């Protein structure tokens, strides 16, 4: 799992690239905590994710809780269909603004 960050319209955009599973989740969690440190609204660009296990869902739940505690907002963008189906079945989509594109996510959060 590779993560990269940039700012767009005053919103932090974090791109997740690869598989988020039990092997990559600990490193991804550390990276996300570091990248979320500035308290800005966040769009998670999931367009390059290939797989997410329950360990990945746990990471997203931690992101949701952290942003709630910090009083910031988070949106998911470009969620692949297979991952979206799992998130929908488990109720995880209810925790996030879900947008088709990063631009849509930035617009919703600003």
Calpha distance 91→85 (Å, rounded): 10
Q: What is the pLDDT of residue 33?
A: 87
Calpha distance 66→10 (Å, rounded): 19
DSSP secondary structure code for residue 10 in this structure = T
> Which residues in the chain come in under a pLDDT of 50?
none
Calpha distance 65→15 (Å, rounded): 19
pTM of the model: 0.94
Reference 103, options 81, 75, 66; nearest CA is: 75
Looking at CATH, the fold of the domain delimited by 2-109 is given as Transcription Regulator spoIIAA (3.30.750)
Longest dimension (CA), the chain: 34
**pLDDT tens digit sequence for 60-82:** 999 999 889 988 999 999 999 99
DSSP secondary structure code for residue 74 in this structure = E
């Amino acid at each position: 799992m590779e993560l990269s960050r940039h700012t767009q319209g005053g919103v932090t955009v974090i791109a997740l690239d690869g598989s988020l599973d039990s092997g990559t989740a600990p490193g991804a969690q550390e990276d996300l905590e570091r990248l979320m440190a500035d308290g800005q609204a966040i769009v998670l660009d999931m367009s390059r994710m290939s797989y997410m296990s329950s360990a990945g869902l746990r990471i997203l739940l931690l992101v949701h809780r952290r942003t709630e505690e910090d009083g910031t907002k988070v949106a998911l963008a470009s969620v692949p269909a297979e991952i979206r189906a799992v998130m929908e079945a488990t109720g995880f989509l209810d925790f996030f603004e879900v947008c088709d594109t990063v631009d849509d996510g930035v617009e919703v959060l600003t």
